[in-house]
Amino acid sequence: MHVLIRRLYSSFKQRKMRSLKKLVDLFAEEVMKSSSKLAFRLSLLSYVLAKLITKTRFFEGEMKERMDEIADLLEKLVRKVDETTLDEIEKTIIGMEREDARFVFDLFTKGRVKIAALLYAKGMSLGKVSKLSGIPKQEILAYAGKTMMFDRLKNEVPVKKRLKVARSLLGD
Amino acid sequence: MKTVLCDSSSLISLTDTCFIDVFYFLSKKFDIDFVIPPSVRKEIIDRPLSIQMKAYQLSALRMKKALKDGVLIEVNADTEKEAKNILNLANTSFFVKGKPIHLIDLGEADMIALAHALNINVLLMDERTTRMLIEAPFRLKEHLERELHANVMLNKKSFEAFRDYTRDMQVIRSSELFTVAFEKGFISKDMFEAGLYALKYNGCSISFEEIDEIKRLEL
């Protein structure tokens, strides 16, 4: 995980959006392997940072200072992985968004839904993902339903067979 | 009298698409009991109403009414110990790099435990992972290997014990329930086709290919 955190820092410093997006996936794999809340938070942070660096308004004036602050905190995170530093980074980003609010849902909320759906697509159950992310099942299902995740896997049981089971309930 | 144990995922799909009437239609006309465990009631009715989750209150109220009308029936059984055992079996069936993959949650294990305890063999479940674990565990294993870019090992002991619990269980999704209701006159042809897509977009784990197949068979 440490290697990935170092990559997170350097990708943010160099504004490498693709690399940050890749990290979303790599941290999500860690979540799958270990059910780690920390890995979930890092996946989420990678998503949020990937979004941040695409918005030019965050590289101007006072916001630029906050971006530097985030970079410093990420460097601190590389030296020592702790939840407090993660909290500080999240707080800084939430503050930035609040000052320049444009959406009803903030980046962290959006990211949480997205990563929850990603984990569900990868094979974790809906209940497990909902607990881990704190996102209600309803929201995860609504997001997942609009992706291709249910089309990427071949039918486990033929539709005809399932209909037969359903019809048997009606006495047919 | 037939009994179907309903998972929260299917209740969500059917209620969010305004098709909760499917339960009314089928339960009255065909004498089917649609039962839910207390955990499902707490999750999709009590919680949205008690903590004012505005986005889900309407669906929660619809389901609350269905419970009051006796269309959904809450059932309980002392399954705590069994649910924990099933959870442990499911979550120690697959290993990656020597570590077990924790795939499911206690709520999902409890569904299986309750079905087992009450001898219910038809589950209504739109959730994909638990469904695959019951129906096609090897396909789930392959899927995990693709997603994790690693070999996934099977713990035969846990896996076989889990299968013993689920051997007689059959799973249908909201899409199949909706289809048989259509066959019995619940809804018109055009509404049926639109409804299948609505269910998919609201989280029913059905593919476009499967929707096409249902359309070929039914329309």
Q: Report pLDDT for B59.
A: 93
Question: How many percent of chain B have pLDDT more than 90?
Answer: 95
Phi, psi for B72 (deg, rounded to 5) = -105, 140
Looking at beta carbons, which residues of chain B come within 8 Å of A156?
131-132, 135-136, 139
**Closest CA–CA distance from residue B138 to any residue of chain A (Å):** 10
ipTM: 0.94
The percent of residues in chain B predicted with pLDDT above 70, rounded, is 100
Q: Is residue B20 within 8 Å of residue B14, measured between CB atoms? A: yes
The pLDDT assigned to A56 comes to 82
Res A154: pLDDT: 74
Of A127, A146, A151, the CB nearest to B104: A127
Q: What is the pTM of this model?
A: 0.94
* Predicted pLDDT at A101: 65
Domain coverage including residue A65 = 2-169
Q: Is B96 near chain A, with CB under 8 Å?
A: yes
Give the pLDDT confidence score for residue A55 in this predicted structure: 84
Contact (CB<8Å) B131/A123? no
* Shortest CA distance from B30: residue in chain A: A170
Q: What is the mean pLDDT of each run of 10 residues along chain A (172 residues)?
A: 95 96 97 94 97 85 89 95 94 85 76 96 95 94 90 83 94 79
Long-range contacts of A131-136 (CB under 8 A, 24+ apart): A131/B105, A132/A31, A132/A35, A132/A37, A132/A40, A133/A40, A136/B48, A136/B53, A136/B56
Quote the pLDDT of residue B53. 78
Neighbours of A73 (CB within 10 A): 18
Q: Do B176 and A162 meet the contact criterion of CB atoms below 8 Å apart?
A: yes
Q: What is the distance between the alpha carbons of residues B31 and B198, in angstroms, rounded to a whole number? A: 26
Nearby residues of B145 by Cβ (< 8 Å), 6 or more positions away = B151, B152
E strand spans, chain A:
none
The conformational region for residue A116 under phi > 0 = left, psi -120 to 50 = alpha, else beta, is: alpha
Blockwise average pLDDT, block size 10, chain B, 219 residues: 94 95 95 95 92 86 96 94 97 95 95 96 96 94 95 96 95 97 96 97 94 95
H-helix or E-strand spanning residue A124: none
> Sign of the CA dihedral B38, B40, B43, B48?
negative
Q: Chain B contact for A139, CB < 8 A?
A: yes
Which amino acid does the sequence have at B71?
V
**Residues from chain B contacting residue A139 (CB–CB below 8 Å):** 55
Closest CA to A27 of A125, A118, A91: A118
Domain boundaries, chain B: 2-75+172-218, 80-119+128-168
| Contact (CB<8Å) B101/A160 | no
pLDDT of residue A104: 56
| Domain count within chain A | 1
